[in-house]
Structure 1
Amino acid sequence: MNPSDPFNPNGNVLIVGGGLVGASLAIALDAAGCPVTLVEAAAPRVDAQPSYDERNLALARATVNGLTAIGVWPQVAAQATPIRHIHVSRAGEFGTARLDAARHGVDALGWTLPARELGAGLLRGLDACTRLVRLAPASLVGLEKYSDGWRARIKTPQGEQFMDAALLVGADGTESFVRAQLGIGVDTHDYHQTLFVSTVTPERDPANRAWERFSDEGPIAMLPLAERRCGLVLTVPSEMAEEVIGLDDAGFIALAQRRFGWRLGRLHRPGKRHPYTIRRVAAQQLMGTRAVLVGNAAQTVHPIGAQGFNLGLRDALTLAELIAGAADPGTPALVERYVARRAPDREGTMAMSHDLVRFACMPQPWLAPFRSLALLAYDRVPPLQHVLARRGMGFRGEPPRAVLERLP
């Protein structure tokens, strides 16, 4: 297509960003028979060899239901580890909240999975698509607005291409180019924290149990993995980041042991440490004319509770549900419906992660009894625990039907 050709969106949905959320949306739309073009910055690639140090994802139950609905979960389930128990506490305080899958009538509250495995499963899903047009490696470099869609200028190794679309979807991450081109601003909050992701082998078997522990220095989490290993997520004040980066293995294990405690006995064999600066970046709106944002382009949340990809997948599957069967995927009514559907889940999840890290990690001693009483209430009052469990499993607001199909 040349820029002088007549504009012809033909119901096409253009997804910019081929990460986990963008790929999931593309697979869901292709299965619904919708014409889709996916622009991916990186060439498709699968790392064949597993790594002890790889990044691990905590997937909520709703997320696994959604991945099952689009045919991806059966390809990766063998590499996943179920989370059947969750233990939440605050260092030096008496309150504890415990969630148990059996108590809520499910076999697991969620699962952990190496990010590489999920990426490989999504690539296989993309390869099986029949309508999807994939441009990779490619990047969006320009947009022109028409009355009934967008003309995108896309840079590829073969030269520039032009693509017409009735709906533009920004799935291109926290520093979204699409969001900037739409003129959508962001609200940013710097937590002044740095997150270190690593892997450890504890003395005791984690036995499908996940831990979230808070302190004045920030939260620390342990996620169960295969072969008695754990994924470690350690948060420190940003002013400590360089010091932690400089620690040797023994020093890092000593820090993790002090922060987490001895519930799993002595920790051994720390993997590589990968630091991430923590910021909340929330788009001030989710839509433009014939355009929407999903995933981290819409909101990048504090990693506490591992809600990032889980929230983004619900964005994608809600949008796919609304587009399926629509003659024109970019009408104002459809776009506005997407925003309305996502508002309770999005706002509730962002508020939960933001307020929890502030309340649970504030150093004021007078807060201690209130925090402990809140955790005890969640542990002992069944209606509160039910709400906590359902939200933790990803069921909030009006979720997409795909995540409910396997809910007992």
Structure 2
Amino acid sequence: MEATVNRGTQTQTQTQTETDIAVVGGGPVGGLMACTLARAGYTVRLFERGPAPDPEHPREDTRGYALAAGSVTLLDDLGYWAELATTAAPIRRIVVSRRGGLGRVRMDAAQMGREALGQVVPAAALDPLLARARDAAGVASHHATTLAGVEAAEDGARRLHLEGPDGAWSCRARLLIAADGVGSPTREALGIPVQRHRYDADALVFDVRPSRAHDGEAFERFTDEGPLALLPQADGRMNVVWVAPPEVCDARLELDEPARMAALQERFGWALGRLHPAGDVLRFPLQRMHAPQPFAERALLLGNAAHSVHPVAGQGLNLALRDVADLLGVLREGAQPDGRPAFVADPGGRHVLEAWARRREGDIRRIVGVTDFLARGMRHVDGLLGHALGLGMMTVDRVPPLRDAFARGAMGLRPVPRHTLSRLPEARA
């Protein structure tokens, strides 16, 4: 059976319908996973429901990905950061505060001997880079292709039923990776259960242009409605993530831009001078979702398909990138004579999936718990409890070891298999 394979701008017909690894979902997480696995020596096919990118007519995208310092290190080890750095906005300082309450924590990269606590990378830079990286690594990318069904594992593989530009076809894979988002059709097809909690809140996301230069400063402000974050962008803009109950979001979307900016200014303050609108407003419902066992036979869940967290503290994508790094670490089984890492022959073996889930369990539980507490526990803190919280924040701010420990957590500086990542070949031989 034939399938159409898109690599960059070239289209070719192939009859091969077997692969070592099938990745469903071509966003930043699925895309990075696909190209690193191909560089490790596996045959990889990526299935993405969206159209193939057009280098001649790139779509406008003003989103920014907030990467913690640990994620930047990961991309640097893989050889992708140098290009991204030219368009990234460094986060040099983070100010955490409470509206109407005492206490503030200010984290400064310079005080920790670092250039930045993190970076904000334009989606318009990261997505095309990963598309080129997949092509260079030999990933077979199938666009405009959806998953119609998944068969139970048999003879060491799963058969995927797919629908694409040329009709229905199938592919056998020794490992199926679902990276198709929080609503993951692949997870549903696999029957993997999840735990969900719908927050009584939505997020309005948009850009503003401040009258004062942001100078790499990011803000996380806790209010009685929910957290309000402003992240620096490379061209002087700030990306706003404004969380509030759904009915409040309804009302704010009904406002004209001047009135909406006035409401934002009243909530945030004047640390950046006057804020001017700089783009459309998007709305996202917020939920916590977690798959206690993020794998099934010959299949695993990656990123938002496995865990979706509240956007407070910007931990979601960074958590998912550690999923990617740790899978490479688990798949490694030694070194080749030239010193490059050697990887297990069967990437979908039960022992591999169980080892990966054990390695990820603690990190995921910690981030889910912390973001849930910040989202819900900081909304209605007043009286003596509010005073104690304010004093605690002041203590953290004034005691360098406590402040630095707080900053290290925000930067995502945890052990990742750096030797494995930095020694991957550029492409499969």
Q: Does the alignment reach a TM-score above 0.5?
A: yes
Which TM-score applies when normalising by structure 2?
0.87
Closer, same or farther in 2 for the Cα pair 1:9/1:227, shift >3 Å? closer
The residue aligned with 2:272 is: 264
Q: What is aligned with 2:406?
A: 388
What is the alpha-carbon distance in structure 1 between the residues aligned to residue 110 and residue 421 of structure 2?
Answer: 18
Kept in 2: contact 1:63–1:403 (CA 8 A): no
Shift, 1:374, TM fit? 2.6
| Residue 399 of structure 1 pairs with residue 416 of structure 2 | yes
**Amino acid in the other structure paired with 1:74:** A
Is this contact kept in 1: 2:23–2:46, CA < 8 A? Answer: yes
How many angstroms does 1:314 deviate by? 1.0
Runs of 4+ in 1 over 6 A off after TM superposition: 8-11, 402-405
1:222 pairs, out of 215, 222, 230, with 230
Deviation at 1:354, TM superposition (A): 0.6
Cα separation, partners in 2 of 1:403 and 1:262, compared to 1, 3 Å:
farther
Take 1:244 and 1:189, find their aligned partners in 2: how far apart are those partners?
24
1:184-203 paired onto structure 2 within 5 Å: 184-203=192-211
Q: In the alignment, is residue 335 of structure 1 matched against residue 343 of structure 2?
A: no
Provide Cα deviations, 1:66-88, integer angstroms capped at 9, x if missing partner.
22233332222211100011000
C-alpha distance 283-115 of structure 1, shift in aligned 2 (>3 A): same
Distance 1:286 1:124, change over 3 A: same
> Are the structure 2 counterparts of residues 46 and 264 from structure 1 closer, same or farther at C-alpha, using a change threshold of 3 Å?
farther
Match of 2:216 among 195, 208, 221: 208
Match of 1:28 in 2: 36
**Distance in structure 1 (CA, Å) of the matches to 2:417 and 2:301:** 16
Q: Find 2:292's aligned residue among 284, 290, 295.
A: 284
Match of 1:115 among 114, 123, 128: 123
Aligned to 1:97, what secondary structure does the other structure show? Answer: strand
Deviates more, 1:160-169 or 1:252-261: 160-169
Q: Matches of 2:389 and 2:207 in 1, distance apart?
A: 29
SS at match of 1:128: helix
Residue 34 of structure 1 aligns to a residue in which SS?
coil
8 A Cα contact 2:149 2:160, kept in partner:
yes
Task: Evaluate the alpha carbon distance shift between residue 404 and residue 217 of structure 1 in structure 2; reply closer, same or farther with a 3 A threshold.
Answer: farther
Structure 2 counterpart of 1:5: none
Q: Deviations over 1:35-92 (max 9, x none)?
A: 11111111222575686x8222211111112222333322222111000110000011
Q: What is the distance in 1 between the residues matched to 2:358 and 2:176?
A: 18
Structure 1 partner of 2:47: 39
* Deviation by residue 1:183-219 (Cα, 9 ceiling, x = unmatched): 2111111111111111111121111110100010111
Per-residue Cα deviation, 1:144-166 (whole angstroms, up to 9, x for no partner)? 12141201111111122211111
> In the aligned structure 2, how far is the partner of 1:103 from the partner of 1:79?
24
Per-residue CA deviation, residues 98-133 of structure 1 (Å, 9 max, x unaligned), is 111122221111011222221122112122222x22
Cα-Cα RMSD: 2.1
Whether the 8 Å CA contact 2:207–2:278 is kept in 1: the answer is yes
The CA deviation at 1:383 is 3.1
C-alpha deviation, 1:10, in angstroms:
7.2
Query: Is structure 2 residue 158 aligned with structure 1 residue 141?
Result: no
Contact kept, 8 Å, 1:206 with 1:228, in 2: the verdict is yes
For 1:1-400, list aligned pairs within 5 A.
1=1, 12-45=20-53, 54-130=62-138, 132-145=139-152, 146-324=154-332, 325-396=343-414, 398-400=415-417
Question: Given the two structures, how large is their TM-score scaled by the length of structure 1?
Answer: 0.92
Which amino acid in the other structure matches residue 185 of structure 1? P
Distance change in 2, residues 1:86/1:402 (3 Å): farther
1:135 partner amino acid: H
Which runs of no fewer than 5 residues in structure 1 stay unpaired? 3-7
Unaligned runs of 5+ in 2: 3-15, 333-342, 423-429
Deviates more, 1:319-328 or 1:187-196: 319-328
SS at match of 2:378: helix
Q: Secondary structure at the match of 1:181?
A: helix
Distance 2:265 2:389 in 1: 23
Indicate the percent of aligned positions where both proteins have the same amino acid. Answer: 38
AA partner of residue 357 (structure 1): A
State the one-letter code of the partner of 1:134: S
8 A Cα contact 2:220 2:229, kept in partner: yes
Aligned equivalents of 1:54, 1:370: Cα separation in 2: 40
For 1:403 and 1:276, locate their aligned partners in 2 and report how far apart those are by CA, in whole Å.
Answer: 36
Secondary structure at the counterpart of residue 389 of structure 2:
helix
In structure 2, how many angstroms separate the alpha carbons of the residues matched to 1:64 and 1:304?
19
Q: Secondary structure at the match of 1:166?
A: strand
Cα distance 1:242–1:251, how it changes in 2: closer, same or farther (>3 A)? Answer: same
